Amino acid sequence: MRIATYNIEWFTNLFDRNGRILEDDEWSARYQVTRAEQLGAIAIVLTALNADVIMVIEAPDNNRRRQTVPMLESFAERYGLRQRKALIGFENETQQEIALLYDPDVVSARHEPDEGTPEAPRFDDSLRIDLDIDATMDVVKFSKPPLEVRIETPEGKSLRLIGVHIKSKAPHGATSPEAATRIAIENRRKQLAQCIWLRRRVDQHLDAGESLIVLGDFNDGPGLDEYEKLFGRSGLEIVSGEGGPRDRRLRDPHARTVRGHATAACPSSARFYSPEEHQYFSAMLDYIMLSPDLCVTGPNWRIWHPFDDPVCYRTPELREALLQASDHFPVSVDISL
């Protein structure tokens, strides 16, 4: 079975206010890419990806006028994708959803949120935690609640997925270097709190002996910025259980590669243009982390990078589609159930 995660930049802008596909020559939110070009590029990527299950990060908005599921399913029908069924979980309070696209001939899927505990509440609730060690409890919420899904195969195999889009650390709104530092630290604290909350849920599933995959955009990774030294660990390491018993750790080999030598080449799943520097920068933000029981059958991870993946690079249509579709690239894993 192939499971993937894909952050599709401004997918929501490819549909009108009533949820109809905007397949035209107007500019998309992607630089110098029309809406028709981005739609076609996304379809090419998803077809090549050929995943049975895709966790879509930044899926189209769900609101009173339009719904995420019909938009994704109409997109799949328009472009002949086998991943033709969709679902979402709790609506978020901001733009863009976390959604699942899947092939109903291969798996069944349903939103199955854990009801939670005081230590790890339901993901549309709030967590009370002391963020800044001032003996005062702070209230943390997910602006985009993780999507908890149970998938089952026709043979009766069951698997839990948790799709995530963890808070960005970027100091948006800063008007000075001092404000940028303050906001970045505040955002890092909130991000780590979300990751602690998520790890507590992971522990509950591991305690229950369930097969689990946590996947999505973590907006973080080991060694990604200097603030990690201030706080000791990255959010990704908290969720994976790094430093804990081996039988409690989630695994994604790209997370371990990032922790390598400072001058070693690192994998990347996202590529951003910096107007100030007039060049592109890469980052490893998207992960698929497996519970230990899923690692014994030799899973195979892949980042569908247009330049770093040899097959993607040697396939011009796919390479260009990856560059047009999003500023992130899909990550997939092949597992045996």
Distance CA 40, CA 29 (A): 15
User: What tens digit of pLDDT does each residue of 168-186 get?
Assistant: 545 555 566 666 565 566 7
Task: Give the mean pLDDT of 233-245.
Answer: 90
Least confident among 159-173, 201-215, 220-234, 312-326: 220-234
Model pTM score? 0.91
Question: Which tops the pLDDT comparison, 316 or 193?
Answer: 316
Q: Is residue 256 very low, low, confident or very high in pLDDT (cuts 50, 70, 90)?
A: confident
Query: pLDDT of 37-53, one tens digit each?
Result: 999 999 999 999 999 99
State percent of the chain over pLDDT 70: 87
The gap from C-alpha 191 to its chain's centroid, in whole angstroms, comes to: 14
Residue 250 predicted with pLDDT over 70: yes
Return the bridge partners of 129, or none.
Answer: 138
Interior angle at CA 191, CA 188 and CA 194, nearest 5: 155
Tokens of 330: 């899909």
**Model confidence band, residue 136 (pLDDT cutoffs 50, 70, 90):** confident
Q: How confident is the model at residue 187 (pLDDT cuts 50, 70, 90)?
A: confident
| Burial bucket for residue 126 (CB in 10 Å: 0-12, 13-18, 19+) | middle
pLDDT tens string 61-85: 999 899 999 999 999 999 999 999 9
Backbone phi and psi for residue 165, each to the nearest 5 degrees, phi listed first = -135, 90
Please, are residues 159 and 337 in contact by the beta-carbon 8 Å criterion? Answer: yes
pLDDT for 98-122, tens place per residue? 999 999 999 999 999 998 898 999 9
Lowest mean pLDDT of 115-129, 183-197, 227-241, name the range.
227-241
Q: Kindly state the tokens that stand for 11.
A: 């997918």
Domain of residue 239: give its range: 2-334
Cβ atoms within 10 Å of 136's Cβ, excluding its own = 8
The pLDDT of residue 260 is: 52
Record the tokens describing residue 237, joined without a space. 């390491």
Average pLDDT, the chain: 89
One-letter amino acid for residue 24 of the chain: D
pLDDT tens readout for residues 291-330: 999 999 999 999 999 999 999 999 999 999 999 999 999 9
Least reliable range by pLDDT among 42-46, 55-59, 93-97, 293-297? 93-97
With a cut of 70, say whether residue 261 has pLDDT above it.
no
Number of domains in the chain: 1
Q: What is the model's pLDDT at position 47?
A: 98
pLDDT digit string, tens, across residues 267-291: 999 999 888 888 999 999 999 999 9
pLDDT: which is higher, 133 or 1: 1
DSSP string, 36-91: HHHHHHHHHHHHHH--SEEEEEEEPP--SS--HHHHHHHHHHHTT-S--EEEE-SP
CATH number for the domain spanning 66: value is 3.60.10.10
The maximal CA–CA distance of the chain, rounded, in angstroms, is: 58
Determine the pLDDT at residue 275: 87
Look at residue 218 and tell me whether its pLDDT is greater than 80: yes
pLDDT recorded at residue 82? 98
Phi, psi (rounded to 5 degrees) for 172: -65, 135
Q: Measure the CA–CA gap between 218 and 38, rounded to whole angstroms.
A: 24
Give the residue, 258 or 54, on which the prediction is more confident: 54
